[in-house]
Amino acid sequence: MRFLVLLLALFAFPVAAQYPAKPLRLIVPFAPGGSTDIFARLLAERAQGPLGQPVVVENRSGAAGNLGANEVAKGTPDGYTLLMATTGVMAINNSLYKNMTYDAAKDLEPVLFVASITNVLIVPPDFPAKNVNELIAMAKKEPGKLAFASSGAGASTHMSAELFKAMTGTDILHVPYKGSGQAMPDLMSGRVQMMFENAPGAVSHIKAGKLRALAQTGLKRSPAMPDVPTIDESGVKGYESLSWSGIAVAAGTPKPIIERLNKDLNAVLAAPEMRQKIEEQGAEVIGGSPEAFRKHVDAEREKWSRLIRTNNIVVN
């Protein structure tokens, strides 16, 4: 066995030394326009410098990100097809969906933690509740009457609400959409009453007065929304639900290739202009080693799988 590992390492070395020798694909498992797509394009535009090859973004939306994630997980482990990985595809979906075609823990290898993204609890401008406590009171007065939109079952926009329900003892109806873009018109018109949207998709609507922010889902306020309190501050102590994005590749990708990707993409994230653009979206640049990203993914997988089991959350 030790001989086989050594042989594979020796075989991978000349391949990794020449890497990358052609353009790379960055698969975004969601439709264009959301935070995952925004960050992927910011990263891809700036990655050609250190990598020496173009990085082409391809949107492969469907099945709460599972279609795009499966394409990478089952692809050739050569470092030329990257996944813009998210909370859902890396830490939630395997516990939530019964018929999965990939196992994120076994089939995907974390490369780089790109950004941590706060979600925002948003409501229509004329919604009666002016804060989280008033919202909880409304929900408890008429269980099952209020509805929250999500960008799809298993997304952070869904699970943030499920965590909120579990911690507040409220009954709020889930209405999943095929992306945040489709949910927004119904939210603005009041057909659904709330949404835990990723900050990049919510900030512009809040500033335009089309939606109102009640709270943020992180433990600290985002610099992009300094006047919006956190849910923890609002009385639901210990509540935290952050969306996040990163880079992953197929399991079995040679370690030298993973290290090269991590080094060069960390350099992209470290640029002041890149950090500014991500922070303007209400997110925080993270970076770091593949091992640090794996540790984060493992912790998130445990957190969300426990919530799903304990509350018997199922996909309709």
Instruction: Compute the mean pLDDT over every residue in the chain, rounded to the nearest whole number.
Output: 92
Residues 6+ apart with CB under 8 A from 17: 256
For 235-276, write each residue's pLDDT tens digit: 999 999 999 999 999 999 999 999 999 999 999 999 999 999
Quick one: how far is CA 109 from the chain centroid? 16
For 104-162, write each residue's pLDDT tens digit: 999 999 999 999 999 999 999 999 999 999 999 999 999 999 999 998 888 899 999 99
Residues 6+ apart with CB under 8 A from 113: 244, 246, 286, 287, 288, 292, 293, 296
Burial 125-140 (b: 16+ CB within 10 A, else e): eebebeebeebbebbe
- The pTM for the full model equals 0.87
Contact between 31 and 201 under an 8 Å Cβ cutoff? The reply is no
Q: How confident is the model at residue 2 (pLDDT cuts 50, 70, 90)?
A: very low
User: Residue 156 to residues 47, 119, 121, 197, 239: CA-CA distances in angstroms?
Assistant: 27, 8, 12, 8, 14
Q: Domain spanning 118-216 has what CATH number?
A: 3.40.190.10
* Residue 285 CB neighbour total at 10 angstroms: 18
User: Residue 125 to residues 41, 157, 194, 208: CA-CA distances in angstroms?
Assistant: 31, 19, 11, 11
65: left (phi over 0), alpha (psi -120 to 50) or beta: left
Q: Which two tokens stand for residue 105?
A: 């823990």
Question: What is the average per-residue pLDDT within 277-296?
Answer: 94
DSSP code for 91: I
Residues 6+ apart with CB under 8 A from 215: 120, 121, 131, 132, 228, 229, 230, 231, 233, 234
How far apart (Å, rounded) are the C-alpha atoms in residues 95 and 92? 6
Which CATH topology does 2-117+242-310 take? Answer: D-Maltodextrin-Binding Protein; domain 2 (3.40.190)
Going from N- to C-terminal start, the domains of the chain cover 2-117+242-310, 118-216
Specify the pLDDT at position 259. Answer: 98
Question: E strands within 49-205?
Answer: 55-59, 81-86, 108-123, 147-150, 173-176, 194-198
**Is the N-terminal amide bond of 20 cis, ω within 30° of 0?**
yes
pLDDT at 167 over 70: yes
For 79-101, write each residue's pLDDT tens digit: 999 999 999 999 999 999 988 99
Say yes or no: do domains 2-117+242-310 and 118-216 share a fold: yes
How far apart (Å, rounded) are the C-alpha atoms in residues 199 and 222? 9
For 53-71, write each residue's pLDDT tens digit: 999 999 998 888 999 999 9
